């Protein structure tokens, strides 16, 4: 093996790499700023040209991420992700483990035939929606999903760039090393040749997070912020007003109106939704006292646990453990509870809400009136409102926006929610599938294909240009754009080749299994600090040469390289890890805590499968 010479440029690259890892480990600088720092330091030290340093901003990976975020925002705008989230919740219920497994498995399957960054980004909005709806920290789901998206690339030979290139790289080596290969003709691997290994790896990663990994994930990434409106409302009204519940009226219950039942005076419970019917329910989201409650009705109510216990015991109504019929309507993306102040010259001042037909007019439900230090829960519909009263209201976000336009109430916090465009669903799906068709059917470059679909969504006004810009997580973009030139420098200066030659050369005599272990570890390291494509291009010839010297099948060594190039879990340098970092609230040390175990398990499963199938 040729000896490699250590150069000044290599030393500079090693120092900058160590500095970047140091900043990541001790979290001394925001990760996107670390990327920008590398982008500046590399050309200033003369290691690479300025053009190479800023090339990451226009790289295929970065442009693909920008485009796929816009595509995801467009699908979210039409309500597609609502439907996806609802189906997942129907299957998984409210179990964090089942939701994690279903989402991760689905993303892994999609990743087996398209770029893993695309699969992860498309499911990111649905995953975030499920997390908010079920109050599950996003950080408990996103990392397993991301790791499975990366692993899913090993399910087929077209799932990741190194596996796509593998046959070409092996054939190139075969042409010049026919004698070392035993003068046998080259036989390319088939589409599913790697599938057994990929399935074992996927099961291992999922099992890791089910059994061990969940304990290593941050548990506080989706908790209510100290200064958020939800936290404040919870502190002020939580014990009195309570939470939302779904009740079933039994078959024997006699028909009565809400006024006759007197649920608010007796139990301090507010009915905010009534569903009537058997298979196809009709929902009323602002019921009034004349509305009847009949056998078989499903009610959505808000009240405290203690009051609900008394109500269900006295009336014989069934309390569902989790919302079913009103699950989507109870989502934080669809409805919520807000405070509004009766402003001067408001039409409400001097009148009761019953007189103003408040519920019928605005389709929202009053829960309480706050006057000074007093929280009023009884007779609020017949209480005369005065200037400065604070109303605690529940309803759909769209209804609150209409109230804000009337200028009768000033809301204390910004109204959430967005106006969905379900009528544009087919158009949005067309642009999504068009992008995928361009990639898989016409071999258009991934970034151009996804950008075409994203541009289509903006031009057809599924989302506006401003919304498209807002949809892009620019921290992720600059993190990747800054790390890409570091990978370029690592390869172009010969630093990667130097390490590979030194490590492999240090073991003049070794067993086949030890060789494959070294190849796997080296490839994973290069994929972390450079790129998986660069690692494959560098390591496949080296690995095949070393394997032939030990009379080991060179194809196995090359396969280890291609699969190990996806073993990129320890740092947020992989595109998928960078994508989920901010939404999941992760820090670099979170990847190290959870990723080290996955990386070791990944390597052991890979070598174990090779031993099982090929008897090494």
pLDDT at 452 over 80: yes
Return the percentage of the chain with pLDDT > 70, whole number: 93
By C-alpha distance, which of 170, 142, 173 is closest to 157?
170
Nearest 5°: phi and psi at 219? -105, 0
Which residues, in sequence order, are bridge partners of residue 246?
300
What domains are there in the chain, each with its CATH number?
8-220+473-614 (no CATH), 229-319 (3.30.70.1450), 336-411 (3.30.70.1450)
Which residues, in sequence order, are bridge partners of residue 40?
none
Distances from the Cα of 376 to the Cαs of 334, 379, 380, 404, 600, in angstroms?
26, 8, 7, 23, 59
Query: Tell me, what's the pLDDT at 377?
Result: 83
**Mean pLDDT calculated for residue range 350-355:** 90
pLDDT digits (tens, 9 = 90+) for 365-388: 998 898 887 888 888 889 999 988
Task: Give the residue carrying structure tokens 């790499």.
Answer: 17
Confidence of residue 261 (pLDDT cuts 50, 70, 90): very high
**Mean pLDDT calculated for residue range 339-350:** 85
Query: Tell me, what's the pLDDT at 236?
Result: 58
Query: Tell me, what's the pLDDT at 599?
Result: 96
pLDDT digits (tens, 9 = 90+) for 543-558: 888 888 888 888 999 9
Q: How far apart are CA 521 and CA 526, in angstroms?
A: 9
Confidence of residue 69 (pLDDT cuts 50, 70, 90): confident
Query: Tell me, what's the pLDDT at 202?
Result: 97
**Mean pLDDT calculated for residue range 32-45:** 92
The average confidence (pLDDT) of the chain is 85
By C-alpha distance, which of 312, 308, 280, 276 is closest to 292?
276
pLDDT at 116 over 90: no
Which residues, in sequence order, are bridge partners of residue 502?
none
Return the percentage of the chain with pLDDT > 90, whole number: 33
| Residue 264 in tokens | 């608010």
Nearest 5°: phi and psi at 368? -165, 160
pLDDT at 82 over 90: no
Is there a contact between 353 and 385 (Cβ–Cβ < 8 Å)? yes
By C-alpha distance, which of 519, 529, 596 is closest to 562?
519
Decide which of 12 and 278 is more confident: 12
Q: Which of 64-73, 85-94, 221-230, 234-243 has the highest mean pLDDT?
A: 64-73
pLDDT digits (tens, 9 = 90+) for 295-339: 999 999 988 888 889 999 999 999 988 777 887 777 776 788 888
Q: Which residues contact 117 (CB under 8 A, 6 or more apart)?
A: 61, 64, 65, 68, 149, 575, 576, 579
Q: How far apart are CA 55 and CA 154, in angstroms?
A: 28
By C-alpha distance, which of 520, 514, 554 is closest to 536?
520
**Mean pLDDT calculated for residue range 1-13:** 79
Task: Give the residue carrying structure tokens 């000033």.
Answer: 410
Decide which of 465 and 119 is more confident: 465
Q: How far apart are CA 167 and CA 187, in angstroms?
A: 9
Q: Which residues contact 596 (CB under 8 A, 6 or more apart)?
A: 569, 570
pLDDT at 17 over 90: no
pLDDT digits (tens, 9 = 90+) for 571-599: 888 889 988 888 888 988 899 999 999 99
Q: Is the pTM of this model over 0.75?
A: no
Confidence of residue 237 (pLDDT cuts 50, 70, 90): low
Query: Tell me, what's the pLDDT at 1?
Result: 47
């Amino acid at each position: 093996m040729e000896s490699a010479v250590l150069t000044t440029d290599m030393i500079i690259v090693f120092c900058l790499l160590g500095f970047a890892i140091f900043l990541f480990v001790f979290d001394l600088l925001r990760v996107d700023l670390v990327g920008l720092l590398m982008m500046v330091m590399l050309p200033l030290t003369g290691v690479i040209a300025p053009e190479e340093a800023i090339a990451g901003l226009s790289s295929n990976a970065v442009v693909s991420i920008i485009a796929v975020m816009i595509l995801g925002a467009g699908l979210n705008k039409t309500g597609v992700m609502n439907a996806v989230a609802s189906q997942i919740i129907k299957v998984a219920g409210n179990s964090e483990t089942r939701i994690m497994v279903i989402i991760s498995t689905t993303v892994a399957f999609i990743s087996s035939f398209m770029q893993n960054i695309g699969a992860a980004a498309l499911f990111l909005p649905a995953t975030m929606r499920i997390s908010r709806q079920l109050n599950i920290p996003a950080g408990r789901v996103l990392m397993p999903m991301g790791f499975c998206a990366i692993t899913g690339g090993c399910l087929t030979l077209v799932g990741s760039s190194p596996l796509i290139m593998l046959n070409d790289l092996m054939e190139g080596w075969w042409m010049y090393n026919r004698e070392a290969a035993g003068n046998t003709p080259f036989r390319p691997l088939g589409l599913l040749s790697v599938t057994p290994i990929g399935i074992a790896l996927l099961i291992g990663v999922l099992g890791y997070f089910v059994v061990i990994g969940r304990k290593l994930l941050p548990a506080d990434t989706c908790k209510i912020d100290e200064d958020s409106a939800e936290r404040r409302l919870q502190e002020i009204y939580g014990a009195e007003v309570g939470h939302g519940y779904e009740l079933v009226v039994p078959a024997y219950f006699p028909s009565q109106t809400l006024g006759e039942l007197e649920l608010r005076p007796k139990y301090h419970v507010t009915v905010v939704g009534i569903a009537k019917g058997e298979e196809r329910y009709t929902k009323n989201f602002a019921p009034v006292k004349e509305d009847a409650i009949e056998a078989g009705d499903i009610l959505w109510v808000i009240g405290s646990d203690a009051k609900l216990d008394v109500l269900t015991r006295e009336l014989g109504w069934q309390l569902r453990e989790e919302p079913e019929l009103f699950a989507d309507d109870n989502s934080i993306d669809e409805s919520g509870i807000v405070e509004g102040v009766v402003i001067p010259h408001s039409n409400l001042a001097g009148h009761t809400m019953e007189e103003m037909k408040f519920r019928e007019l605005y389709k929202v439900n009053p829960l309480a009136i706050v006057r000074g230090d007093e929280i009023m829960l009884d007779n609020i519909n017949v209480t005369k409102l005065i200037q400065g009263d604070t109303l605690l209201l529940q309803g759909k976000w769209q209804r609150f926006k209409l109230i804000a336009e009337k200028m009768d109430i000033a809301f204390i916090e910004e109204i959430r929610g967005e106006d969905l465009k379900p009528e544009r669903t087919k158009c949005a799906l067309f642009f999504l599938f068009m992008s995928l068709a361009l990639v898989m059917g016409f071999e258009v470059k991934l970034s151009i294909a996804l950008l075409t679909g994203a541009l289509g969504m903006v031009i057809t006004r599924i989302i506006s240009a401003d919304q498209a810009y807002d949809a892009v997580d620019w921290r992720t973009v600059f993190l990747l754009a800054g790390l890409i030139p570091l990978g370029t420098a690592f390869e172009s200066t010969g630093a990667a080749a130097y390490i590979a030659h030194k490590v492999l050369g240090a073991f003049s005599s070794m067993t086949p299994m030890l060789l494959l272990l070294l190849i796997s570890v080296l490839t994973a390291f290069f994929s972390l600090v450079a790129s998986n494509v660069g690692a494959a291009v560098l390591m496949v010839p080296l690995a095949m040469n070393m394997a032939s010297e030990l009379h080991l099948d060179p194809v196995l060594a090359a396969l280890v390289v291609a699969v190990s190039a996806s073993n990129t879990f320890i740092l947020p340098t992989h595109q998928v890890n960078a994508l989920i970092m901010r939404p999941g609230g992760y820090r670099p040390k979170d990847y190290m805590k959870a990723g080290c175990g996955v990386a070791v398990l990944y390597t052991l499963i890979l070598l174990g499968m090779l031993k099982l199938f090929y008897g090494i």
